[in-house]
Amino acid sequence: MKGKGLLEGLWITLRHLFEREITIQYPEQMPYLQERFRGCLQFDYKKCIVCGLCTKACPNNVLSYESQPVPNSKKKLLLSYTIDLQYCMFCNLCVEACPTGTLYFNHDFELSEYQRDDIKIVYEIPRSAQAVISEPADSPIEMVDSSAEPAPQPDEDEAKKQKQINAMITALKKNPVKAVSKLVESEAQAQILADILQADEKKLVRMATMMIEDREKAGKVALAFVNKELKDRQQEGGAGNEPE
């Protein structure tokens, strides 16, 4: 029959007239997003090791950061991280380039803003939470407040470093409790550490050097000294100051 195709088409549309609709009512119902959906670029500052691979991988100069090198070390401190989302292609090259998994995409696709300046996502890393090396996220290292001790100078000049070490030695000798108070957890521990350092010149010099060069190691070593001393005292008598 000549008009058969027409009738078949009519039958198909008639069938669909009585079927359920497949559209969803956005925004009351959200669409189902697959796991790897690329929504908005997120940055987890605790994992960043400031290697710069993400900025090199990005085709569009979306990512930028400010950093401060730590003296006497190849590591860097991250001060701020900017994601300029208006230029982002959501191509995933930065996420793949990052060695620690700092960058990732979440499922947020409603990214419109009213002002153009709001599209830039700027992460200002607070001074108290800047990680010097990559640590698991649950143990951030506390950074010493720079006003409490002679500020570490950014340049790596040997003479300057020596000067700092000498200054630290002097500080340790003059007012040991105050100088080591930030390395340990309590007053009593600070007292114990101060006694140890006063007793041993070599240890004092070593501690001063470590405090200038490698803060975290100094802290660990300080704790080790204190604990050893406490154990010795316990083994010796048991009587005496029990630290809290």
Partner 1 sequence: MENWFVNIAHALTNWLTGLGLSVGWADFILLVVQWVCIIIIVTLNVIVLIWLERKISGFIQQRLGPNRLGPFGMFQTIADAIKLLTKEDIIPSATDKLIFRTAPMFFIIISVMLYVVLPMGENMVIVDLNVGVFYFISVGSLTTICLLMAGWGSNNKWSLLGAMRSVAQMISYEIPLAFSLLGVIMIAGSMRLSDIVAAQSNVWFIVLQPVAFIVYFIAATAELNRGPFDMPEAEQELTAGAYTEYTGMRWALFFLAEYTNLVAVSALMSTLFLGGWQGPFLPSWLWIIIKTYLVMIVFMWLKWTFPRIRMDHLMSFSWKVLIPVTLANILLTGIVLQLFKGMGW
Partner 2 sequence: MLQTEQYIINIGPQHPSTHGGLHVEAVMDGEHIVDSIVHLGYVHRSVEKIAESRTYPQFVPYTSRLDYLASHLPTLGYCQTVEKMLGVAVPERAEYIRVIMAEFSRIASHMLFVGSLAIDLGATTGLIYCFRDRERIMDLFEMTSGQRLIASYMRIGGVSHDLPDTFIPAALSFINDFPKMIEEYEGLIVGNEILQARLKGIGVLNAEEAIEYGVTGPNLRACGVEYDIRKVDPYGIYDRFEFDLPLGSKGDSWDRLLVRMQEMAQSVRIIEQALQELPEGEIKAKVPRIIKPEKGSEVYHRIESSKGELGYYIVADGGEKPYRLHVRAPSFVNLMVLPIISRGEKLQDIIANIATLDPVLGESDR
238's contact among partner 2, partner 1, none, with CB below 5 to 8 A by partner kind, is: none
- 3-class state of residue 46 by DSSP: helix
17's contact among partner 2, partner 1, none, with CB below 5 to 8 A by partner kind, is: partner 1
We find the least distance from the C-beta atom of residue 105 to partner 2, in angstroms, to be: 7
Residues binding partner 2 (CB under 8 A) = 2-6, 8-9, 11-13, 22, 33-38, 57-59, 89-93, 96, 105
Contact 160, 150 (CB under 8 A): no
Cβ distance to partner 2 smaller for residue 93 or 177: 93
Cβ distance to partner 2 smaller for residue 24 or 224: 24
Write the DSSP assignment of 2-44 as a string of letters.
TTHHHHHHHHHHHHHHTSPP----TTTSPPP--TT---SEEE-
Residues binding partner 1 (CB under 8 A) = 6, 9-10, 12-14, 16-19, 21-23, 25
E strand spans, the chain: 41-43, 63-69, 76-84, 103-105, 120-124
Cβ distance to partner 1 smaller for residue 13 or 235: 13
Burial of residue 173 (CB within 10 Å: 0-12, 13-18, 19+) is: middle
Cβ distance to partner 1 smaller for residue 19 or 158: 19
| Encoded amino acid at 50, one letter | V
